[in-house]
A = this chain, B = another copy of it.
Amino acid sequence: MMSGITGELWHRINEKRGEYLQLLKSLLSFPSVSATGEGMEEAAGRVAEVLEKVGLRSDIFTDHGGYPIVWGELREERHGTLLIYNHYDVQPPDPLEKWTSPPFQPTIRNERVYARGACDNKGNLAARLCAIDLLLDTIGEVPLNIKFLIEGEEEIGSPHLSKFFQNHREILSADACLWEMGGASPDGRPHIYLGAKGILYLELHASEKRPDLHSSWGAIVRNPAFELVHLLSSMRDRSGRVLIEGFYDDVQMPDSETVALLEELSGFESEVRAIVGDEGLLSNKSAKELLFDLTLMPCINICGIQSGYTGHGSKTVLPSSAFAKIDIRLVPGMRPERVLELVKRHVERVSGGRVSVVPLDMGYPAARTHPSEPFVQLIARTAESAYGMKPIIYPSSAGSGPMYLVTELLQMPCVAAGIGDHQSNVHAPDESISIENYLKGILHVALTIVNFVPFMRGGVTPYL
């Protein structure tokens, strides 16, 4: 049972439930797949329309050179400013046949909303917009300057976002930044993330200057699929440890206050086993060691691999080419350009120049905000009030985001909280969010906004 301001806001959220689900659906009803370009031309305009409807002044920026950035502002000359980062682009929806309902037709089943982007990231954006609407509707104002930065290239590594930050540094000024993602445990405990990994996304191409041949030649002729297989298995051992020389050299090991956060994550192991099954983990490490690896260590993953004939039946062919897509997650201290150099050296040494390394973009480094920052404490307190449970604070997301632009370039604390859960299937078929988490997310953001100035100035949260 919620009481006080929290209870009143929760009551009103539930009264407006239909309206808030409608706002969510309006964002989920169109494709915006940055990897393929599908729907991207219209998407920014549709997002800006939703912003205006809620009462924000919107702008669309294109001078950074990539897909448009939607900017939203509610400026009332208050004593504090919160920057909110989201993205409207989504991952490709394939394999389409694995979706229960079409990815761009939001569908409610069992109190969950299913659609590509439901969690990552249109659902989070919708909850934050609803929080603005909620405050305008209940207290008649938003007691804080709000700035929305909604980009269209997060899922392809945000290749042009740094340009935008350089071009528009002045409008980005704020006291803190609320980042895009987050969720809650199966038992309802909210998750807060104090950082994000960096990323480098590469393709590895092995090809021969000959056509596909009859596979009987395989006895003496090079097979690019085998070249690639030998290379990939030289890059990571069976326990997941990266074997590229120098890969771990620049890793800044986290301090004790940061590592201590992992002690709080008691339910983690059972959560993970619920997702991946009893035998789905790479190693038999303890829950704390797994968390350490997941949040605080770099890694390499094969996202895709393809060569030769993969249709029905048996075709005996010696392929002329093979490729793989791999992502490399970075932690503080690692620079993507340096890691690329190390990968290139490794590939050259192992493949003798037979495999080429093609970075799809230059990626970005990791970011972390220290747990001692006041903004971290504010987000944690409002989360506890909104969800009725102490939040779990992760020192970093296992995922990536260009958060370094905020922490490194703007030198601003940056924290992520959001509406996902263990069933959200982010980046996979049947992506979804629970309606419960969506509504709680609205409440959390609204409480953060109303308490922002009192807490950041005086360490108090009068409106809970």
Contact = CB atoms under 8 A, between A and B. Distances in A.
6 contacts: A36-B311, A155-B314, A211-B429, A215-B427, A225-B324, A226-B236
Contacts of A323: 310
A156 B313 CA distance: 7
Interface residues of A, number: 93
A312 B197 CA distance: 23
B301 A218 contact: yes
Given A230-B238, A305-B310, A325-B309, A294 B225 contact: no
Contacts of A302: 223, 225-226, 229, 307-308, 319
**Nearest 6 interchain pairs by C-beta:** A218-B301, A35-B313, A304-B308, A216-B398, A219-B299, A216-B399
Contact of A305 (B285, B307, B354): B307
Nearest to A324: B225
A232 interface: yes
A223 to B, nearest CB: 6
A229 B305 contact: yes
A389 interface: no
Interface stretch (A105-113, A126-134, A259-267, A270-278): A270-278
Contacts of A309: 92, 94, 303-304, 325
A336 to B, nearest CB: 13
Contact of A398 (B211, B217, B285, B303): B217
B220 A293 contact: yes
A6 interface: no
A92 B282 contact: no
A214 to B, nearest CB: 4
Contacts of A314: 35, 155-157, 201, 303, 325, 327, 360-361
B428 A280 contact: no
A81 interface: no
B220 A312 contact: no
B215 A360 contact: no
A297 B216 CA distance: 11
Nearest to A307: B305
A318 interface: yes
B429 A212 contact: yes
Nearest to A213: B428
Nearest to A202: B314
A351 B371 CA distance: 41
A212 to B, nearest CB: 4
A211 B304 contact: no
Nearest to A427: B214
A385 interface: no
A37 B399 CA distance: 44
B316 A201 contact: yes
Contacts of A304: 225, 307-310, 315, 317, 319
Name the residue in A201, A222, A280, A301 with the highest tally of chain B Cβ atoms < 10 Å from its Cβ: A301
A83 interface: no
A294 B220 contact: yes
Contacts of A372: none
A87 interface: no
A280 B321 CA distance: 12
A421 interface: no
Contacts of A236: 226
Given A222-B281, A276-B210, A427-B317, A305 B308 contact: yes
Name the residue in A293, A306, A429 with the highest tally of chain B Cβ atoms < 10 Å from its Cβ: A306
Contacts of A201: 314, 316
Given A220-B272, A220-B290, A238-B230, A214 B399 contact: yes
A434 interface: no
Contacts of A316: 91, 155, 199, 201, 301, 303, 327, 400, 427
B308 A210 contact: no
Given A92-B315, A314-B325, A280 B210 contact: yes
A382 interface: no
A418 to B, nearest CB: 13
A367 to B, nearest CB: 14
Nearest to A196: B216
Interface in A202-248: 208-223, 225-226, 229-230, 232-233, 236, 238, 240
